[in-house]
């Protein structure tokens, strides 16, 4: 459902879970990426008691800061989006989407350079046919890269929050989408690390909540606030087999 002001309106959790492609209207890829990320976030949030209905959604990122404005229970929530990733890695994935029929490896592309790699460099470093590479990224290094990119986005989006043109809501939220990837066994430990990183951030002039979401398997949505770390859906324990869409590690969502 929608009207002239709002891009999407959900009157119940069931309607929010069916947002699907309703928000996907942008012609530019970066704005379309924002709409896709928000759609998957809203689907997961339909399992939460955080929202009150109706929930009204507007994409404002094409002309304003932050990226989205939401109304929920008469309160306005300003939402800024970000990605936990590396630019050259996203360039490689774009090459795949545009027809490059090769497997993307965990390679040196995960290591940032001062200047963006060229297309040829990305293909050479990320899409080798050889099964083994001496310059590949170890699990330990990949973990450090993941933490570094979280810190980078938190710092960057703190600067965005302090801009004079940031349209604040009754609450301001920051939503990070994990595109580097977190394995099942890493979820709890990584989220605890993020919880510690955010401890000095919880001030009245910072975001009231931050989320980390992974859309691909294993999917999860973690919620951070001054009260601590929680997860969505509420009280959902991780199954050992046959993960349903949107499963989460053991934890509970905030009210």
Report DSSP letters for the chain, one per residue: ---SS-SEEESSHHHHHT-TTTT---SSHHHHHHHHHHHHHHHHHTT-SS--SSEEEEE-TTTSBSSEEEEETTEEEEEEEEEES-HHHHHHHHHHHTT--SPPPS-GGGS--SSPPPHHHHHHHH--SSS--TTPPPHHHHHHHHHHHHHHHHHHHHHHHTSTTB---SEEEEEEEE-S---GGGHHHHHHHHHHHHGGG-STTS-SEEEEEE-SSSPEEEEEETTEEEEESTTPPPPSSSPPTT---S-----
How confident is residue 137, by pLDDT bands cut at 50, 70 and 90? Answer: confident
Is 248 within a domain? no
Is 249 within a domain? no
Query: What pLDDT score was predicted for residue 4?
Result: 60
Query: What pLDDT score was predicted for residue 130?
Result: 52
Across the range 77-97, mean pLDDT stands at 93
Does residue 75 share a domain with residue 96?
no
Which among 139, 162, 180 is the end of a domain?
Answer: 139
Enclosing domain of residue 67 = 8-84+151-232
Is 55 within a domain? yes
Q: How far apart are CA 240 and CA 255, in angstroms?
A: 27
Query: What pLDDT score was predicted for residue 106?
Result: 78
Residue 106 dihedral angles phi and psi, to the nearest 5°:
-75, 105
Does residue 171 share a domain with residue 68?
yes
- Whole-Å CA distances, 209 to 61, 90, 92, 196, 231: 19, 26, 31, 14, 12
Is 247 within a domain? no
Residue 242 dihedral angles phi and psi, to the nearest 5°:
55, 60
Does residue 63 share a domain with residue 176?
yes
Is 146 within a domain? no
Is 3 within a domain? no
Q: Residue 178 has which token pair? A: 């994990």
Does residue 192 share a domain with residue 99?
no
Does residue 80 share a domain with residue 92?
no
Query: What pLDDT score was predicted for residue 94?
Result: 87
Does residue 200 share a domain with residue 101?
no
Q: How far apart are CA 182 and CA 142, in angstroms?
A: 10
66: left (phi over 0), alpha (psi -120 to 50) or beta: beta
Across the range 208-235, mean pLDDT stands at 88
Residues 175-196: tens digit of each pLDDT: 999 999 999 899 989 999 999 9
Does residue 171 share a domain with residue 191?
yes
Across the range 51-62, mean pLDDT stands at 94
Across the chain, mean pLDDT equals: 87
The number of distinct structural domains making up the chain is 2
Does residue 103 share a domain with residue 69?
no
Residues 90-119: tens digit of each pLDDT: 899 889 888 988 888 878 899 999 899 999
The two beta strands, 75-84 and 171-178, are parallel
Residues 230-249: tens digit of each pLDDT: 988 653 344 333 333 444 43
Residues 24-37: tens digit of each pLDDT: 999 898 999 999 99
Q: How far apart are CA 10 and CA 17, in angstroms?
A: 9
- Whole-Å CA distances, 172 to 83, 204, 208: 17, 10, 6
């Amino acid at each position: 459902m929608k009207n002239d002001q709002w891009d999407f309106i959900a009157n119940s959790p069931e309607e929010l879970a069916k947002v699907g492609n309703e928000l996907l209207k942008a012609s530019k890829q970066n704005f379309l990426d924002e709409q896709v990320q928000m759609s998957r976030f809203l689907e997961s949030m339909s399992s939460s008691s955080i929202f009150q209905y109706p929930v009204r959604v507007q994409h404002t990122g094409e002309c304003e800061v932050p990226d989205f404005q939401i109304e929920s229970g008469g309160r306005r929530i300003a939402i800024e989006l970000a990605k936990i990733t590396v630019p050259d890695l996203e360039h490689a994935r774009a090459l795949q989407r545009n027809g490059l029929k090769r497997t993307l490896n965990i390679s040196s592309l995960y290591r940032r350079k001062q200047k963006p790699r060229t297309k040829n460099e990305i293909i050479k470093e990320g899409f080798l046919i050889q099964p083994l590479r001496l310059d590949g990224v170890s699990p330990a290094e990949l973990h450090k890269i993941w933490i570094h990119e979280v810190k980078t986005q938190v710092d960057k989006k703190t600067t965005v929050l302090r801009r004079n043109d940031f349209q604040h809501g009754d609450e301001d939220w920051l939503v990070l989408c994990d595109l580097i990837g977190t394995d099942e066994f890493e979820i709890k430990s990584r989220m605890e690390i993020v919880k510690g990183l955010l401890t000095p951030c919880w001030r009245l002039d910072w975001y009231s909540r931050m989320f980390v979401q992974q859309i691909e398997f294993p999917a999860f949505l973690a919620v951070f606030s001054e009260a601590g770390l929680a997860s969505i859906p509420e009280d959902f324990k991780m199954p050992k087999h046959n993960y349903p869409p949107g499963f989460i590690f053991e934890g509970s969502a905030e009210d």
